[in-house]
Amino acid sequence: MSNQENSRMTLESPRKRKNSTIDETPRKKFKLSTGDWHYICCLDQISTVRSKNRKMFEHGDSTARKKFKVSMGEEVYKSCLDHISTASSRSPLSEYLTEKQNLKKRSLKRKAEDFLESPNVKRVKTENTNDNTADSLKAKFTETYVEQTQIGEGGCGSVFAGYRVHDKLPVAIKHIKKDDDMLIHVDENGKQMPSEVAIMLKLRDKTTSSVGQSAIVSMLDWYDLDEELILVMERPMPAEDLFYYIQKHNGRITMKNAKIMIKQLLKALIHLQEANIFHRDIKPENILIETKSKVPKLYLIDFGLSCFDDQKQYDYFYGTPVHIPPEFKKQGFLSSGPTNVWQVGVVLYFILHKKQFFTKRFLSNKLKINKRLSKKCTDFLTKCLTVDPKERPTLEELLHHRWLLKEDTQI
């Protein structure tokens, strides 16, 4: 595997959600080479540089917004300014410009003093300015929610348990560090927004209480601060991710409950598919099981690697490397539909075998399907894990598979 592929993959262990790390492909950045600045030697050329810097900020260069670094070209730029300033200071024109600037400063000072004479205007102006600052948003967050212990950690951020102040509603609070690796969605109007936020907002608008749609955890609130993004999600109680749910029950999951989980997962993925959303990392650690009733209720979580599915084929991979679909290694690309089906097979394999799934070991026959499973169950799992993506069934076809439609109590 090339270094480029490695940089686009998650390096997380499939065993432990809390210790997982995720490596996302960085967004493209606007870059300026030092050669772009060599011709700067007059005022007109300096103006060009200023224009470039301004456009770089306006077009969303996260590096420029976050931390403006002085490059070699900017040293030349500053040196040129000093040179021009020194040369012009000895000219009559310089004396005229200096006096004009002083008059402008005095005029601005008078206007500022006139403005400060009205205390009401000053108060309103200050309030409007502070409403959108990071400090005011942080204060609003702390007034609305109480953050408690950490319950998860990954490459995209850390998750804490908490509750909403006014009604004590349990919530999950996700802190995401804002950096160049954060996935950004650009809408048809050119507006930029973190991809996870854009996806959760769309899901919140489309979600109802129907089965499948309600199987996706909802976003309640979000705060865009200077250096981090805070997402407030609903937190089913009591609940635990599927990986630990299997461990807690010592692998004793009934076939009936296995079917219930897979049906809910299929309906949730079909809902995402209809909303044009590709999760990309379906696995036991990203599935919550609510345990307050006899029948387990499933919730799909963690949309940090998700995207709007506007491509038929993807020549890069986001997700857990040990679960990578075989077509990506063989053909160098994958599609959302077959990938979803493959990942359903990954989840079902873990439920039925109580051990982790590894694509490489499965393809080399070091991992095999349990022969004690019924024919219908074996057929369902085999179809999910078919090597050729063209031969895999669709999510809708799996939902109507005979294993899910008929009683099957065999292990």
pLDDT, tens digit, 9 for 90 and up, residues 227-272 = 899 999 999 999 999 999 998 877 678 899 999 999 999 999 999 9
pLDDT value of residue 291: 86
Average pLDDT over every residue of 345-349 = 97
User: In the chain, what percentage of residues exceed pLDDT 70?
Assistant: 64
Euclidean distance between CA atoms 283 and 243, whole angstroms: 9
CB 246, CB 354: distance < 8 Å: yes
**Most confident segment among 98-107, 148-157, 163-172:** 163-172
pLDDT (0 to 100) of residue 127:
33
Whether 90 shows a pLDDT value over 60: the answer reads no
Q: Is pLDDT at 408 greater than 50 in this prediction?
A: yes
Least confident segment among 17-21, 304-308, 352-356: 17-21
Is the pLDDT confidence value at 334 over 80? yes
The mean pLDDT of 102-114, rounded to a whole number, is 42
Q: 78-82, 181-185, 363-367 — which is least confidently predicted? A: 78-82
pLDDT over 60 at 167, yes or no: yes
pLDDT at 159 over 60: yes
More confident residue, 370 or 125: 370
Mean pLDDT of 45-61: 44
Decide which of 181 and 112 is more confident. Answer: 181
Centre a 10 Å sphere on the Cβ of residue 257 and count the other Cβ atoms it contains.
Answer: 16
Q: Looking at the predicted structure, is the pLDDT value of residue 74 above 70?
A: no
pTM metric for this prediction: 0.67
Residue 212: predicted pLDDT:
63
Question: Residue 36: its pLDDT value, please?
Answer: 37
Q: Average pLDDT, whole number, for the chain?
A: 75
Residue 4 scores a pLDDT above 90 = no
- pLDDT tens digit sequence for 286-301: 999 998 878 889 999 9
Higher pLDDT, 19 or 279: 279
Residue 88 is predicted with a pLDDT of 42
What's the rounded mean pLDDT across residues 6-13?
A: 42
The amino acid at 143: E
Q: What is the pLDDT of residue 69?
A: 35
Q: Say what the pLDDT of residue 120 is.
A: 38
pLDDT above 80 (res 119): no
**Which contacts of 164-173 are long-range, i.e. CB under 8 A and separated by 24 or more positions?**
164/220, 169/234, 170/234, 170/235, 170/237, 171/145, 171/220, 171/232, 171/233, 171/234, 171/235, 172/217, 172/232, 172/233, 172/234, 172/235, 173/145, 173/147, 173/230, 173/231, 173/232, 173/233
pLDDT digits (tens, 9 = 90+) for 380-406: 999 999 999 999 999 999 999 999 986
Specify the pLDDT at position 191.
87
Q: Give mean pLDDT, residues 305-314.
A: 89
By CB atoms closer than 10 A (0-12, 13-18, 19+), residue 149 is: exposed
- Of 261, 259, 276, 281, residue with least CA distance to 376: 259
Q: Output the pLDDT for position 152.
A: 87
The mean pLDDT of 336-344, rounded to a whole number, is 97
Q: Is the pLDDT of residue 148 over 90?
A: yes
Question: Over the range 35-63, which residues count as b (16 or more CB within 10 Å of their CB) and which as e?
Answer: eebeebeeeeebeebeeebeebeeebbbe
